[in-house]
């Protein structure tokens, strides 16, 4: 997935690797029309946090990613179940990445 980041020292476009299931879920999100409108000027933002859910005590965790669909002044937050790998990568991005130097190995033009 091509992901644009706004960082302290500028913007960076990176290649965000996704496994098959995460790719399919995000692809399904961006292929739907979330607003009752004929306009097609949508854009999407991958929100920089992941939630967790546990169905029963000591049960396995389910990770929840978030995408925001924006059209003009309207916005919708869409949750999706994501992999532990996606959740870990999102936590790394949120907690460790502060400048373009931190993501230079992922820059889109390097692939």
Residue 36 lies in domain:
2-110
Domain total for the chain?
Answer: 1
> What pLDDT score was predicted for residue 39?
64
For every residue of 49-102, which 3-state class applies, written as one string? CCEEEECCCCCCEEEEEEEEEEECCEEEEEEEEECHHHHHHHHHHHHHCCCHHH
pLDDT digits 0-9 by tens, 22-68:
999 999 988 887 777 666 778 899 998 899 998 888 888 999 999 99
> What pLDDT score was predicted for residue 55?
83
């Amino acid at each position: 997935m091509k992901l644009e980041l706004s960082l302290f020292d500028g913007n960076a476009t990176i290649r965000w690797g996704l496994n098959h299931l995460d790719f399919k879920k995000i692809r399904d999100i961006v292929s739907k029309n979330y607003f009752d409108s004929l306009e097609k000027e949508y854009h999407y933002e991958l929100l920089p946090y992941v939630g967790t859910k546990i169905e029963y005590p000591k049960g396995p965790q389910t990770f929840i990613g978030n995408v925001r669909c924006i059209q003009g002044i309207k916005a919708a937050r869409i949750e999706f179940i994501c992999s532990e790998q996606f959740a870990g990568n999102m936590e790394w991005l949120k907690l460790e990445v502060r400048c373009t130097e931190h993501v230079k190995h992922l820059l889109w033009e390097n692939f």
